[in-house]
Structure 1
Amino acid sequence: MPSFARARSIRLNVNQLHLTPPARGGEFPVLERLSFTNCRFDAGALISRCPRLRVLELICCRALDTITVHSATVEELLVTGEGRRLRGVDIVAPLLKKFTLHSDVSVDFSMSLLAPMVENLSWNCRFACWLDPHKAVGMRLGRGGGA
Structure 2
Amino acid sequence: MVDTAHVNSLLRAAARLEPEELIFSLSSDFIGDYPVVDLPCFHRATSIQLGLFAVIRVPAGVEFPALETLYLACSIDALDSGLRVLHLSSTELNGDHLRVNSASLLELVVGSRWTRSVNVVAPVLKQLTMSLTASKISVVSVLAPLVEKVSWKCCYMNGCITFGLWLLEQVTLQTAERQGQLPMLHIRAHCVRPLNLLQALSK
TM-score bracket, normalised by the shorter chain, equals 0.7 to 0.9
Are 1:66 and 2:97 counterparts?
A: yes
Aligned ranges 1:29-108 → 2 under 5 Å:
29-37=65-73, 39-42=74-77, 45-47=78-80, 50=81, 52-62=82-92, 64-82=95-113, 85-108=114-137
Listed as ranges, the gaps of 5+ residues in structure 2 are 1-38, 172-203
Q: TM-score, normalised by structure 2?
A: 0.57
Residues 107, 12 of structure 1: CA spacing in aligned structure 2 closer, same or farther, 3 A cutoff? same
Could you say which structure has the greater relative contact order, defined with CA pairs below 8 angstroms and 6 or more residues apart? 1
Q: What residue number does 1:121 align with? A: 150
Structure (1 or 2) with the greater helix fraction: 2
Deviation at 1:2, TM superposition (A): 1.5
Q: TM-score, normalised by structure 1?
A: 0.77
Q: What residue number does 1:110 align with? A: 139
Q: What residue number does 1:26 align with? A: 62
Q: What residue number does 1:7 align with? A: 45
Q: Report the aligned-residue RMSD.
A: 2.3
CA distance in 2, matches of 1:21, 1:94: 23
Deviation at 1:134, TM superposition (A): 7.1
Question: SS of the counterpart of 2:48?
Answer: strand
Identity %: 39
TM superposition outliers: structure 1 runs of 4+ over 6 Å: none
The CA deviation string for residues 61-120 of structure 1, in whole angstroms up to 9 with x for no partner, is 2353111111111000001134xx301111111110100110211222421111011111
CA distance in 1, matches of 2:105, 2:160: 38
CA distance in 1, matches of 2:90, 2:160: 27
Structure (1 or 2) with the greater strand fraction: 1
Q: How many residues align?
A: 128
CA distance in 1, matches of 2:45, 2:153: 32
